[in-house]
Structure 1
Amino acid sequence: MRFPCPLGGRCPAGQRGAVPPALEYPAPNSPRIQFRPQNLHHAMMKGGIEVFTRYLAKELGQRGITANTVAPGAIATDFNGGHVRDNAEINRMVAGVTALGRAGVADDIGPMIASLLSEDNRWVNAQRIEVSGGMNI
């Protein structure tokens, strides 16, 4: 069975139709969540990093070193082919499900990380910190 390219016709040669369309279902407070088979590796890595962060915090805590994970949400960069940045429809969709009404930009994330690294946040440890502007709340 052949499926349409999930990248809207921009698939590399030989990959067109290689993956099925997104599996979609309604979710609370969200118009739609999509799970695409080609994103499985990304989801697995994110989950692994969150668990690794907890173990790292436990191991390094005895030395006074903290470990945290920052989850930035949808940011308008070149990640994932620049879809959030370059595709107006995707950018509007992200803005529509974000409490602050827009997609994030890199400058939204950097200051938060700088703050997290300051001595004022020395007691923050083993946390997954979402910095998404209130996406999907």
Structure 2
Amino acid sequence: MSWQVANDVEDIWGDPGVTGKPEMSDLRRSKKTLPVILALRSGRTSGAQLAEALRAVPRHPLEPELQRWARLVETAGGRAGADRLSRTYLEDAVNQLRDARLTPRAREELVRLFRRMVLREG
């Protein structure tokens, strides 16, 4: 879950050189990923503006429109909310590893792997 939420954030704001995906690929396809859903449910003006923009989505949105949508998602709190949720899921997973019957080395390697996948650390 942590990785999926982080991936949703990367699909909008990630560096294509790191992610291997085109910039704003999910927005381009009008996918309702978690940051977008959080923005739409925020109750903020920017969330309402995003909802209106997505209702009138053109078949092939141009770059300025995609940039505007990304700003609206961020202003409505979608990015920050998704980042928090991803980190919460990650910490839950790490805590579960502490309770698992693993060698310390195996546990450390899994924690390092999880952090690398989600946070791009290491």
Task: Give the alignment's TM-score, normalised by structure 1.
Answer: 0.27
Whichever of the two has the greater Rg, that structure is: 1
More strand by share: 1
| TM-score, normalised with respect to structure 2 | 0.30
